[in-house]
Amino acid sequence: MENYEIVVIGGGPAGLAAAIAAKQNGMEKVLILERDRELGGILNQCIHNGFGLHTFKEELTGPEYAERFIHLAQQAGVEYRLNTMVMDISPDKKITALNRAEGLLEIQAEAVILAMGCRERSRGALNIPGYRPAGIFSAGTAQRLVNMEGYLPGREVVILGSGDIGLIMARRMTLEGANVKVVAELMPYSGGLKRNIVQCLDDFDIPLKLSHTVIDIKGKERVEGVTLAQVDEKGRPVPGTEEEYSCDTLLLSVGLIPENELSREMGVELNPVTSGPQVNESLETSVDGVFACGNVLHVHDLVDFVSEEAEAAGRHAADYIRKKRKDQTEVKRTEALSEIEQVPLLTGAGVRYTVPSFIRPEQMEDSLKVRFRVGKVYRNCYVNVYFNEEQIIHKKRPYAAPGEMEELTLKKEQLTEFPGLKKITISMEEA
Partner 1 sequence: MEKRYLTCIGCPMGCALTVTLNGKEVVSVEGNTCKRGKVYGEQEVISPVRTVTTTVVVEGGNLPAVSVKTRTDIPKEKIFDCIRVLKKVRVPAPVRTGQTILCDAAGTGVDIIATKTVESR
Residues near partner 1, by CB under 8 A: 44, 47-49, 59-61, 63-64, 67, 146-150, 175-176, 193-195, 197-199, 202-203, 379, 398-399, 401, 403-404
Beta carbon of residue 74, minimum distance to partner 1 (angstroms, whole number): 13
Beta carbon of residue 100, minimum distance to partner 1 (angstroms, whole number): 17
- Looking at residue 259, what DSSP letter applies? -
Q: Answer for the pair 88, 262: CB distance below 8 angstroms, yes or no.
A: yes
Beta carbon of residue 23, minimum distance to partner 1 (angstroms, whole number): 23
Beta carbon of residue 36, minimum distance to partner 1 (angstroms, whole number): 12
Q: Is the peptide bond before 13 cis (omega within 30 degrees of 0)?
A: no
- Cα angle at 241 between 239 and 243, to 5 degrees? 125
The candidate with the shortest Cα–Cα distance to 209, out of 234, 190, 233, is 190
Q: Answer for the pair 348, 331: CB distance below 8 angstroms, yes or no.
A: no
Nearer to partner 1, 7 or 73 (CB): 73
Beta carbon of residue 255, minimum distance to partner 1 (angstroms, whole number): 19
Q: Answer for the pair 98, 104: CB distance below 8 angstroms, yes or no.
A: yes
Q: Phi and psi at residue 276, in whole multiples of 5°?
A: -110, 170
Beta carbon of residue 202, minimum distance to partner 1 (angstroms, whole number): 7
Nearer to partner 1, 29 or 48 (CB): 48
Nearer to partner 1, 146 or 283 (CB): 146
* Dihedral sign, Cα of residue 313, residue 318, residue 323, residue 328: positive
b/e map 396-416, b = 16+ CB within 10 Å: ebeebbebebbebebebebbe
Q: Answer for the pair 187, 377: CB distance below 8 angstroms, yes or no.
A: no
